[in-house]
Amino acid sequence: MPRRQTPAPEEDFTENIVDIDVTSEMEGSFLEYAYSVIYSRALPDARDGLKPVQRRILYMMSQMGLRPDRGHVKSARVVGEVMGKLHPHGDAAIYDAMVRMAQSFSLRMPLIDGHGNFGSLDDGPAAPRYTEARLAAPALALTDHLDEDVVDFVPNYDNQLMQPEVLPAAFPNLLVNGSSGIAVGMATNMAPHNLGEVIAAAQHLIANPEATLEDIIRFVPGPDLPSGGKIVGLDGIRDAYATGRGSFKTRAKVEVEKLTARRTGLVVTELPYGVGPEKVIEKIKDTVTSKKLQGISDIVDLTDRQHGLRLVIELKNGFNPNAVLAQLYRYSPMEDSFGINNVTLVDGQPRTLGLLELLRVYVDHRIGVVRRRTAFRLGKKKDRLHLVEGLLIAIVDIDEVIQIIRSSDEAAAARERLMAIYDLSEIQANYILELRLRQLTKYSRIELEKEQDELRREIAELEEILANESTLRQLVSTELGEVSALYATPRRTVLLESEAAAPLRGTALPAPAAAGKNAKAALPLQIADDPCWVLLSASGQLARTVDQEPLADGQRIRHDTLLSVVKTTARAEIGAVTSLGRMLRLPVLDMPVLAGAAGSPNLAGGVPVKEFITLAKGESLVALAPLDKVLAIGTAQGVAKRVTPEYPLNREDWEIIALKPKDYIVGLSVPADDDELVFITRQAQLLHFPASTVRAQGRTAGGVAGIKLAVDDSVAFFGSVAASDAAAVVVTVASTQDALPGTSPGSVKVTPFAEYPAKGRATGGVRAHRFLKGEDVLTLAWAGHGPAKASSANGASRALPTEHGRRDGSGIPLSQSVDAVGPSLSGLSLSDPSLSGLSLSDPSLSLQEPEDS
């Protein structure tokens, strides 16, 4: 390759080397560059709240006619127009600014209506050749009246076109949409606000120019972020409103929901401003892996277009939702801080302004815009009135005007003669010369006179606006109110003075008192092993109470009652005994906590047993039982067994009795050694004997003979009664064996338990109920602490009659016993708790030792 040769200098060339100080040159060049970045790129103008690129995009789209009632055009076309005519920078920067103005999660009031993929908090937008755009309706309020000399226009970069120095801005865009930018040596970060609140504050300032910051804060209590969420602590916001600098803490909106019968989750529906769900999920997974976060088993993103944001954080059993949420606030982006730095351009100079100063700059700008618009319209009206007055003069003497024009050699001569004869101005004379023949009718004169009167009225109104400052300010306030009525939306962000005012929705537990980034959670992470009561109702509802003793008089489902109650602790396990001799292990933490007044839990708040255990065909749940006490079991064929609490630790279910064919468990209790075990059969035989006579056996044993049964007889009730309980009674209800529940009149008998003599085990016992005519079986039998109660159809407890039956041993007719209880029970019948009639509730279940029930 040939070597490049330097051309020889010309003969008259004179070398002149100028020595320049590098320091001064760098300072000057840097200052010019810094000013260019500050003024021309990075900082918004305090008047319209826009950076130059944003202003140029909106202006060019307005010039292109991309209004909301027109179709979308390719974003690349808009970017090309802006870059080629107004903004000589990269297309990527222009498109990024355009995309941000179209994102509803970035701006509180988007200014561009985007069509296509304009990105999300976690992903960028599609290329400009794929997306389409047009102006959004609020953007029209920023660009309206540009053709009425409301703002100054300046040349573009090559002095071929003109562009507005600032937009008219019919609403305070800087406060409504906020702004962010990094300049040289300074930066701005302004939070979005609610349009209705900001306009109300501006109207108040217009009406009261001497208003204080406290007056304005009454209208603008705090930012209103596009993503909603919560702002906790308002001191930093007040500092920013006063000085232009401050910070506040934002939190996600979280609710506690029951995901399944045994699982609880935290559902996130709103995140802090600028935080995307993928970022939250990734951070939570990282902190769970590093063992910083505990109690979380899974996190699922169920966000869609129909329901919006929905992050489901599934919790492990036994963890306090409030404590887990406090950890999430501390270690994940579900809590974030926003630093306010209100740096903006005022008269071309960067300044840090508070809320009151920002509103004053905007109000002054808007008053100036309306004043210039009014003056422009006044000039137009006066010019038109001048033409109309000249035209009316010509129409009055139109024949002579036509003769003057026809007799003139040229238009200039005709114009001179009209001006001389009718004392017209040159503009009026030219307008008359340009008249069309159709404007010379008599109707045209009437229209012109009407137009003249209308113009004079409008001119007077416009002059009044310019002459009276209060009228001008009132007009500005009215126009702001019209914008608010069109575009204002309800507040999205909740403002909380402190963390104590931020309860966690969906849980009755207290909210965390100190869960900030640098504060430790005040609540224990795991649910304490506090005493509780596990309840099983006759309708199959399973639940637990917290630190309260359940009473039989609580709210319940129709015909429901407490079937089994076990006193335990929140982190313990209990057993569930089925009719086929199985015991299943149940963790208490999985059970829902019942709401309701102390002592009266709402049984309707439980969860069906089938959500916790799986039963075979023909198998039913008999009772709940503690795992650390000796149990007594009675079967339908009269077998009795006491089971030692030696259960396998590595199994979820096991057998506790070896049943004979067609036999099943009837009842279960937790008796003391001196308690009496009681059998009552369908044929009304009652046997009771000391529990100590039955030796405790292992879980695989088959038990011993309890009561000797007659042919076709079976056990209807098995339980235990304290030997020292003088108030114990026996309740029996007789009916016809083939009758449907509630259809047979039957009879009921209540007898003191002490009247029944004890018999030896494996004997037939004594007669407990003499059947009346038509009765042949006991449909219900029960023995325990009395007096017993019956529950009515509305769930209220009713006392049974105190009469103990007739002397012949038969019972009182059921109709009489019901009438004695009260008219609300008329027409209803007593039956086994598992059936649909009235059920007996054992008041002993509400005593100090409910596990003995």
Query: What are the Cα distances from residue 129, in Å, to 54, 115, 835?
Result: 20, 12, 71
DSSP H/E element including 387: helix 355-396
String of DSSP letters for 798-822 = EEPPS----TTSBPEEHHHHHHHH-
Q: What H or E segment, with its residue span, contains residue 688? A: strand 685-690
Cα angle 709, 711, 712; round to 5:
100
Q: How many angstroms separate the CA atoms of 333 and 424, rounded?
A: 76
Return the SS3 of 366.
Answer: helix
- Cis omega (within 30 of 0) on the bond before 512? no
* Per-residue DSSP letter, 423: -
Characterize the bridge pairing of strands 132-135 and 245-251.
unpaired
Q: Give the Cα separation of 280 and 286 in Å (integer).
A: 10
CA distances from 626 to 61, 472, 573 (A): 76, 82, 8
Angle of helix 398-407 relative to helix 355-396, nearest 10 degrees, comes to 80
> Cα–chain-centroid distance for residue 6?
75
Separation in Å, CA 356 to CA 151, 196, 200, 206: 23, 16, 13, 12
Burial class (CB in 10 A: 0-12, 13-18, 19+), 759: middle
Active-site residue (options: 35, 130, 329, 487)? 130
Q: To the nearest 5 percent, what fractions of the chain are helix, strand and coil?
A: 30, 25, 45
Q: What is the DSSP string of 74-138?
A: EHHHHHHHHHHHT--S-HHHHHHHHHHTT-TTT-SS-SEEEES----SSSPPPPTTT-EEEE-HH
Do the beta carbons of residue 188 and residue 180 sit within 8 Å?
yes
What is d(CA 604, CA 594) in angstroms, rounded to the nearest whole number?
A: 9
- Among candidates 55, 243, 13, 34, which has minimal Cα distance to 142? 55
Residue 573's closest CA among 508, 653, 668? 653
Cα separation, 455 vs 451, whole angstroms? 6
Q: Whose CA is closest to 696, among 639, 618, 630?
A: 630
Question: Are the C-beta atoms of 666 and 782 separated by less than 8 Å?
Answer: no
Of 189, 199, 245, 247, the C-alpha closest to 219 is: 199
> Hey, what amino acid is at 557?
I
Sign of CA dihedral 685, 686, 689, 693: positive
Cα 432 from Cα 404, distance rounded (Å): 12
Name the region of 207 (left: φ>0; alpha: ψ -120 to 50; beta: rest): alpha
User: At CA 691, angle to CA 685 and CA 697, rounded to 5?
Assistant: 115
Residue entry with tokens 């700059």: 361
Q: Is 273 a catalytic residue?
A: no
Do the Cβ atoms of 560 and 633 come closer than 8 Å?
A: no
Determine the straight-line distance between the first and last CA of the chain, rounded to whole angstroms: 108
Angle between helices 195-207 and 355-396 (to 10 degrees): 70
Give the residue numbers marked as catalytic: 130
